[in-house]
Chains A and B, each alone.
Chain A
Amino acid sequence: MKANWDLARYFIYLLEIIKNVSAPDIFYVEDDTDFAFLTKHAIEEVNNGLSVKIVDNGKDALDTLQQLCDNRIKPRLIMLDLNLPGMSGHDLLKKIKEMPFLKYVPVVFFTTSDNPKDIRASLEFGANAYLTKPSGYLNLVSCLHSLHDFWFTKHVNLN
């Protein structure tokens, strides 16, 4: 049964990818659907023109990223939660850094943990930033605002 479901989900994703041939600006892995929902809206509030692709577990994330690679589609920013079902954010980060096509896409951790150990490990594995999830929607919007300013506006300018 479960295998069938997985298969069904796989086709849905394939359909989505095909439908969404243009690259997502932001690829976000987050298992908290509430937070994912709020973040998606906050990003829209910051910049309505950005496209966001969200998946809620590590395995789907890997599959989707592989699809992106195969289609030579490169997101502009990857955001990862740390505590994910199935595969941790750290493991996911390692896999991403092993994909030559995605190797240079900036990866930002976005998590509840403020544990210094987690922060240090994330940076060591090659994360480009580590953000603790802010409390409340207003804070989230301002947080994403500065994230956007740094990785989309200034970065672009630099390039």
Chain B
Amino acid sequence: MTNYQVDLTNCDREPIHIPGKVQSHGFLVAVEATTLNITYISQNIADFIKDNAQNWLGKNINDLQKILLPGLSAQQLNQLINLGIGSKNFESINPYNLELNGDPYFLILTQSDGNIILEFEPTDSDLDVDVQRSIGRSVSEILTGKNLNAILTNAAREIKKIIQYDRVMIYRFNEDEHGEVVAEVKNDDLEPFMGLHYPASDIPKQARQLYKLNLTRIIADVNTDASPIVTFEQGQPLDLTHSVLRAVSPIHIQYLKNMGVASSFSISLIAHGELWGLVACHNYTPRFINFKAREAAKLVGQILSSALEYRQDEEDTEQLVALNSAANEISARLKSDKSTSGSTIVAALTKGDVNVADITNGSGAAVIIDGVLSVLGHTPTGEQIIEIAGWLKANMADSIYYTHRFPEVFSPAKAYSATASGILACALSKDLSEMIIWFKPETITTISWAGNPEKPAEPGENGIMQLSPRNSFETWEQIVKNTSARWTNEEVSTVLKIREEVIYAINRRANEIRLLNERLQLAYEELDTFSYTISHDLRTPLSSVKSYSEFLLATNKSLDDKAKEILNKIVAGADKMNMLIKEILNYSRVGRAEIEFNKIDMTALIGEVAKEVTNAVKSDNLQLTIGDTPNIYGDQTMIMQVFTNLINNAVKYSSRSNPSIVEVKGRVEDQETIYSISDNGVGIDVNYFSRVFELFKRMDNAKDYEGTGVGLAIVKRIVEKHHARIWFESKLGSGTVFYISFRNY
């Protein structure tokens, strides 16, 4: 035999429903259901009939009955069996009182495939109270519990009263099948097990299956040897699933012995058809309770099961109702007409009594829409959320992603596992740039295991690996990190629902934006017409104002000096207004013009501008130097406007310096060509830095210089149209440098 690998899953393969043995406090006979011939019999029957069990195999039950049960007629037993077979249910018959060698016994009948199992166990119980009577009171006691925990503790207490074991615990199975003691009532001298966790392997899968089919199981005394069942049916062991005497696995016996337990009794707790948990009862001395007492305990277990089912449903429903009502309120807000802009979608999700964090049981949420992060409740920091979003963007395969162990998949998250051990993310846009993330905090930080849950396997004497159930049940603490409560199906489906609503709202918003754009386009066209109106209709009468004034001045000889002065002021005002109108036209023309990108000969362009400016100034005071003039790409006319404006400004605002020094030069860098226009003029006040490029904004110290406040606004518009950048450095009283950086195409 090769070394058989024993591991934690090994117990799973032990066929515990066909152990081939019964516990020795009773004995078993199985008969073929139609012939009533004996097919299986436990060896310990010998203690009652003074004959070898084997000798009775194949014989009719009636023959055995004559010896075993002289007080019972053959007819009675046959009737009993046939009644059970006929009604396919032995529950109404069980237990049947009879006497064996003068002692009271219970006969318990069950069916196993084609066989009827007859099990005999003593009526004598170590229990001397009348269980039937106390049940009614117990049940009402149990149900007074206001919440699940109270009900469980009440149940444990009442069951302990009924069966009087040293310790009664209620185990609850978690999703990963490990068990946790959620209620306990025990004798004062015993060490508490409350809150301890037991690894899933302590109660292997097939045991769970049996617990679902047969709701009680007693191990009367771990220190007695089980009695083998004999049969002629080779290779067809008797299925003891429904048996009351079934011997349990020797591994389990060892497990109990290691714990110091002598007797064990358990009642299954079933909710929605699944094994919710167990009432596990331990006694530290052998303690047998008879069938009736066990049935009474089973009844309590069944009542507790339905209470659990109801309470659990109620709690689940309450939770679901809370999540749903939050989700409904938010979707109502999203659907309202107001939520059409990005900010109002965010507001619908984050503002108000309930927000998007309330649609899950998480402790916080983050909303990323339009590149803006909004956080709710307990979340990691903004930077960390951006980091998470980045990871999600790279790793999210679906529109929704969730985990309750996020730091295990993304290790930087260990730094903030306290708030974000669980994350649930849903993408709102295809490129994953918009999303909502919910967070769940790290929950169980410490699990108290009853002993080291990793059951060690040790090589036995013959070198074969043997499973040895752990000896120590000392609390073994395991720190479970980076884990949050799981995301439930309800949470996920609520999130999906909200996701639909948000996407719908976003799409609607996109439509609104498209409509707005169309309206803006129309407005632009109207502005165009408006511009024309200004140019024509406004300039014509303005021209008349000026012309009539001049006409009066030129033709009316009787005007005195005062009248002449006033008329001259009218002319100057009209001129100023005319210039403003022209500038506005220029400004709006730049906004609408399409750019034609061409290579511009900058040496020629700047030369031309410089000549024009110098001619206009006609001053020896000006020292205008032109440095390198690397070529750039752009619209010839517009770039000309930019340099005309900037050089004009430089010359204008330095005209009172002596000499007035203006320098224009360009340099080529990696990605861009940067031109600078510097002067030693009046400079710009820091307080105005942000407003320099605004339309009609003129600095206080520029009031003495002629200008409209449109030039730099036009420059800025042109620069933006060219995807270039403009900025400046300036010091009041010592000069200004404007920089423009053009992209190298």
Interface set of A (CB-CB < 8 Å, partner B):
32, 34-35, 38, 41, 45, 112, 133, 135-138, 140-141
Contact = CB atoms under 8 A, between A and B. Distances in A.
B511 interface: no
B547 A34 contact: yes
Nearest to A140: B547
A137 B551 contact: yes
Contacts of A141: 554
A141 B555 CA distance: 12
A45 B548 CA distance: 15
Interface of B: 536, 539-541, 543-544, 546-551, 553-555, 571, 575, 578
B546, B550, B555, B578 — which one has the most chain A CB atoms within 10 A of its CB? Answer: B550
A140 B553 CA distance: 14
Given A135-B546, A136-B546, A32 B551 contact: no
Contacts of B543: 35, 112, 133, 135-136
Contacts, number: 45
Nearest to B550: A137
29 contacts: A32-B544, A34-B547, A34-B548, A35-B540, A35-B544, A35-B547, A38-B544, A38-B547, A38-B551, A41-B551, A41-B555, A45-B555, A112-B539, A112-B540, A112-B543, A133-B543, A135-B543, A135-B547, A135-B578, A136-B543, A136-B547, A136-B571, A137-B546, A137-B547, A137-B548, A137-B551, A137-B554, A138-B550, A141-B554
A152 B555 CA distance: 24
Nearest to A42: B551
Contacts of B547: 34-35, 38, 135-137, 140
Contacts of A140: 547
Contacts of A135: 543, 546-547, 575, 578
B554 A138 contact: yes
A41 B578 CA distance: 23
Nearest to A141: B554
Contacts of A38: 544, 547-548, 551
Nearest to A44: B555
A151 B548 CA distance: 26
A38 B553 CA distance: 13
Contacts of B546: 135-137
B669 to A, nearest CB: 38
Given A34-B548, A35-B544, A112-B536, 10 more contacts: A41-B555, A133-B543, A135-B546, A136-B550, A137-B546, A137-B547, A137-B550, A137-B554, A138-B550, A138-B554
Contacts of B544: 32, 34-35, 38
Contacts of A133: 543
A41 B536 CA distance: 23
Contacts of A41: 551, 555
A63 B365 CA distance: 83
B56 to A, nearest CB: 125
Nearest to A34: B544
A35 B543 CA distance: 9
B59 to A, nearest CB: 125
Contacts of B551: 38, 41, 137
A34, A41, A45, A137 — which one has the most chain B CB atoms within 10 A of its CB? Answer: A137
A43 to B, nearest CB: 13
A83 to B, nearest CB: 8
Nearest to B543: A135
Contacts of B539: 112
A109 to B, nearest CB: 16
A32 B544 CA distance: 10
B566 to A, nearest CB: 16
A35 B542 CA distance: 11
B550 A45 contact: no
A45 B554 contact: yes
- Ranked nearest first, the 10 interchain pairs of A and B with the lowest CB-CB distance are A137-B550, A137-B551, A137-B547, A34-B544, A136-B546, A38-B547, A136-B550, A138-B550, A136-B547, A135-B543
Contacts of B548: 34, 38, 137
A41 B553 CA distance: 13
A34 B547 CA distance: 9
B681 to A, nearest CB: 31
A140 B543 CA distance: 11
Contacts of B536: 112
Contact of B540 (A32, A137, A138): A32
Nearest to A133: B543
Contacts of B550: 136-138
B564 to A, nearest CB: 14
Contacts of B554: 45, 137-138, 141
B589 to A, nearest CB: 13
A32 B85 CA distance: 121
A112 B540 CA distance: 8
Nearest to B541: A34
A99 to B, nearest CB: 30
B536, B539, B547 — which one has the most chain A CB atoms within 10 A of its CB? Answer: B547
A22 to B, nearest CB: 26
Contacts of B549: 137
A7 to B, nearest CB: 31
A136 B548 CA distance: 8
Nearest to B551: A137
B138 to A, nearest CB: 104
Nearest to B549: A137
A118 B547 CA distance: 25
Contacts of A112: 536, 539-540, 543
A38 B550 CA distance: 10
A34 B544 CA distance: 7
A138 B554 CA distance: 8
A3 B571 CA distance: 42
B549, B554, B575, B578 — which one has the most chain A CB atoms within 10 A of its CB? Answer: B554
A50 B549 CA distance: 24
Nearest to A135: B543
A140 B549 CA distance: 13
A8 to B, nearest CB: 29
Nearest to B552: A137
B536, B544, B571, B575 — which one has the most chain A CB atoms within 10 A of its CB? Answer: B544
Contacts of A45: 554-555
Contacts of A35: 540, 543-544, 547
Contacts of B541: 34
A34 B536 CA distance: 15
A1 B555 CA distance: 41
A38 B555 CA distance: 11
A34, A35, A45, A136 — which one has the most chain B CB atoms within 10 A of its CB? Answer: A136
B673 to A, nearest CB: 32
A141 B548 CA distance: 12
A113 B540 CA distance: 11
B549 to A, nearest CB: 8
Nearest to B546: A136
